Amino acid sequence: MDLGSPLTVPHLLRASAPMPVLVGSDVLDRVERGRAYLRTVLADDERPVYGAKTGFGALVGFAGRATEADQSDNTLAHLGAGQGPDLPADIARAALLVRTWSLAQGLSGVSPHVVSGLAAMFATTFAPAIPRYGSVGASGDLIPLAYAAQALRGRGYAYLDGARLPAAEALASAGLEALRLDGRDALALVNGTSVTTAAAALALSSVRASHRALASLTCLLTDLLGADPGFADPRLVSAFGHPGATEVASWMRAVLDGTTPSGLRALQEPYSLRCSPQLLGAAEDALRYVDGVVAADLGGVSDNPLFFPGDDLVAHGGNFFGQPAAFAADVLTMVTATLGNLAERQLDLLVDPARNTGLPPMLAAGPGQQHGLQGVQLATTAFVAEIRRGVLPASTQSLPTNLHNQDVVPFGTQAALRAYDLAELLRMLCGSLALGLRQAVHVGARRPTAPRCAALLDALVAAIEPVDPDRPLDADVRVAAEVAVDGEW
């Protein structure tokens, strides 16, 4: 990617692997202008600059260290208080891409070599080791980003080719130079919501893929059972009045095109089928809100202070406050819970002989001698319970800290990381339903009558053997998720 172009979610998805990040002359010019202006301001004893001439946070009223190198050490050392397991490497690298793009806008006063050094990292597999716990997302992701900055300086730990190493060793093996930072560089690296934004963006991408897959799986379930697809009728759904429902029903009609009802089902299906355009449509409307927040975060500068050379302005404020992402990630988690519940209820419908148009219980090829999807259904119940346990909004849990300097905090980091975790469980719920649909045809469900439903089924059949006899199905659920959520059919 080019740092002179807009940053998008697909860029973050690609950042998990080596990728070129280009720093054009226009980017370097604006970064240099911001840096030169910072030098002018720092030379004026009458102009205060937070973090460059002062202490940090609640200690802003005290003078900082005497030298720029000491100020950098002071910035990062006191933030080395994180705990817990390391963040996944895809989040760590995506967070640094967000941070690099923000710094490249020239409003943070950083040294040009910092932007160039960060960009060079993306051509390698280097990823800083960042502990999960410690951020409140209020002055940005201070503690996690401090670990990232230290790793880029050759301190602490990092990953290279998936192996956890001392950071200095990882840098040397990757052919990277340790970053040289002064006080402003160090503060600019940590004073933004880049971890929150990255985790929210990756979670959004995953949930969106599962959402689209679940719409298609719902169509395949409708076709296999011989249900009437009239619940997606354009006149019916348009009268509902919600744009997301109208959009989702349009997708579903395209997948269901050609399906023929069997005439064996009741006049009205259970809500998990009949109300699926309305449920999936409400999720679509909510996901569009999250799309907008993530896009704004990716296109904004998250730092404090900001430097505007053309206006001779050093602006001290709160552009590091992660409330938008906190709300958005909480909404994303609620969507995940609702979609996960739908997938579990549809699997329950499919394995129940009282409601599945005569298929055997648990889709077992020989009930009693075999158990079909019984274990998978038990697991889906656990997945839904786990998702529900995590739905409590993080954005409402504000606690004052930092001597009441941070007297309100958004906890967006917690919301985003939780959304990232739960998105994976939603994938497994989609995979479980997809596996059930594949097995249903093996034990007596009809061949789909809609061509696109048949294509989805054929992709699942090609990837997964029928469950006959019983076998462990954990790997099959993952394969089914890859086909249904990630595949093109």
Q: What is the pLDDT of residues 252-298, one digit of tens each?
A: 999 999 999 999 999 999 999 999 999 999 999 999 999 999 999 99
Is there a single domain that holds both residue 332 and residue 187?
no
Same domain membership, residue 203 and residue 62: no
pLDDT at position 66 is 67
Is residue 428 situated within a structural domain?
yes
Residue 56 covered by a domain? yes
Query: Looking at the domain assignment, is residue 3 inside a domain?
Result: no
Catalytic residue among 50, 147, 159, 420: 50
Final residue before a domain boundary, out of 176, 192, 208: 192
CA angle in degrees (0–180, nearest 5) for 444-214-329: 155
* Assigned token pair, 35: 């840096």
Is 50 one of the annotated active-site residues of the chain? yes
Q: Give the count of domains, the chain.
A: 2
Question: How does strand 163-166 pair with strand 131-133?
Answer: unpaired
210/203 Cα distance (integer angstroms): 11
- Beta strands at 306-308 and 157-160: parallel, antiparallel or unpaired: unpaired
CATH number of the domain bearing residue 320: 1.20.200.10
* pLDDT the model gives residue 445: 96
Are 187 and 208 in a shared domain?
no
Would you say residue 311 lies in a domain?
Answer: yes
Respond yes or no on whether the N-terminal peptide bond of residue 234 is cis (omega within 30° of 0).
no
Q: Are residues 149 and 242 in the same domain?
A: no
**66 and 180 both lie in a single domain:** yes
Residues in the chain, pLDDT under 50:
none
Q: Report how far apart, in Å, the C-alpha atoms of 379 and of each of 66, 238, 375, 384 are.
A: 59, 37, 6, 9
**Do 161 and 288 have their domain in common?**
no
The pTM of the full predicted model, rounded to 2 decimals, is 0.96
- pLDDT value for 488: 83
pLDDT on residue 102: 98
Domain co-membership, 186 together with 251: no
Q: For residue 168, how many other CB atoms are within 10 A of its CB?
A: 16
* pLDDT given for residue 58 in this prediction: 67
- Is residue 264 a part of any domain in this protein? yes
Is residue 178 located within the same domain as residue 253? no
**For residue 362, what is the DSSP state?**
G
DSSP 465: -
166 and 239 share a domain?
Answer: no
- Following DSSP, what letter does each residue of 178-232 receive, concatenated? PPP--HHHHHHHHSS-HHHHHHHHHHHHHHHHHHHHHHHHHHHHHHHHT--GGGG
101 located within any domain: yes
Residue 313's H or E segment, with its range, is strand 313-315
Boundary (domain end) residue, out of 192, 214, 234 = 192
Is residue 2 in some structural domain? no
Tell me which of 192, 217, 232 is where a domain ends.
192
Same domain, 186 and 275: no
Give the residue numbers spanning the domain of 426. 199-486
Cα→Cα distances 100→13, 138, 373, Å? 15, 19, 47
Residues 130, 46 within the same domain? yes
pLDDT the model gives residue 399: 84
Flag whether 4 is in a domain.
no
DSSP helix/strand/coil, 52: coil
Is the domain of 354 the same as that of 463?
yes
CATH number assigned to the domain comprising residue 148: 1.10.275.10
Note whether 178 and 152 are within 8 A (CB).
Answer: yes
Looking at residue 284, its pLDDT comes to 98
